[in-house]
Amino acid sequence: EMKGVIEGACGPYLYQQLPLKSLSPWAACAGCLGMACLYVGSLYIWKGSGQSSRDHPTTLKQRMTSVGIVSVAAPLLLLPLIQPPGQTDGLDSRISLLPSILGVSLEQGLLSWKPPLLAATLFLGPLCLAYLEWAEGIRRHFYECPSNLVFVRNLIVAPISEEVVFRASCLPLLLSGGFSPCACAFVCPLFFGIAHIHHALEGLRKGHPSASVAINTLFQFAYTSLFGAFVSYVFLRTGQLATIIVIHSFCNWQGFPDIDGILNHPKHRVPLSCLLVAGLTSFIYLFGTLTRR
């Protein structure tokens, strides 16, 4: 049988942890690091992939194929850890329990509208800025992808594959390693942040200054880690993989909030700044309520 609601600080956590073999904290972290290495390594198995642009059509197709395979393989690596209740410890029994561990069980519900709405409140100011620019005929690069393949990667493949690997597969490992749900929400994103450091290689390949690449890499690590903490917490609170995929896709579509564009807007700086603050305030105030199912 499934365990009930996981109690802990900042809970309750509705992710229903199935019986898994106990791991040491180091073994759990090593498993998560292995998942991250598997994901990133799959991007570079193709001949010449480290030399061409990440947006080149051939590179896009190859890498989307790679991470698609990893997204199938990573959950299967959890099978040896599953301990079905009773005497039915067969492969079929373990496979039947996998959907609940991954957050795709009908019993847990597939999708909640609350957490994506919470994410949208954080972008209240940027969304209004984007609307004003759209009305003036200005198009942002992150709203208009340069190709259909980039659109598919950014808004479909990356959100699905990264959430399957870095949340649905890594969080069960950390829980089985004895980490509390609250601790998991902070530890798990570190592996997600580390997995984005490889973007520095493309910056160096393009000849960008090392100092600039280092700063951008540190910023991306911090930003992706904070985002990872948010969706990890939402996953543990809701137990729904689809919910965090929607959040991830929305945030990829938005990019980092254009604070500079708001503060330096020639006509509507004050109202946009107020909306920016209102969005951040609403996000903080509603965080506990809207991270539930």
120/247 Cα distance (integer angstroms) = 9
Q: Which residues fall within 8 angstroms of residue 65, CB to CB, at 6 or more apart?
A: none
Closest CA to 122 of 226, 193, 215: 226
Q: For residue 286, what pLDDT is reported?
A: 94
pTM of the model: 0.90
Q: For residue 1, what pLDDT is reported?
A: 40
Q: For residue 210, what pLDDT is reported?
A: 83
Give the active site residues: 162, 196
Q: For residue 78, what pLDDT is reported?
A: 92
Average pLDDT, 10 consecutive residues per value, the chain (293 residues): 52 70 93 94 84 84 95 94 76 86 86 95 92 77 67 94 96 92 92 84 75 86 92 93 96 88 89 94 93 87
Torsion angle (degrees, nearest 10) of CA 115, 98, 34, 215: -10
Q: For residue 92, what pLDDT is reported?
A: 84
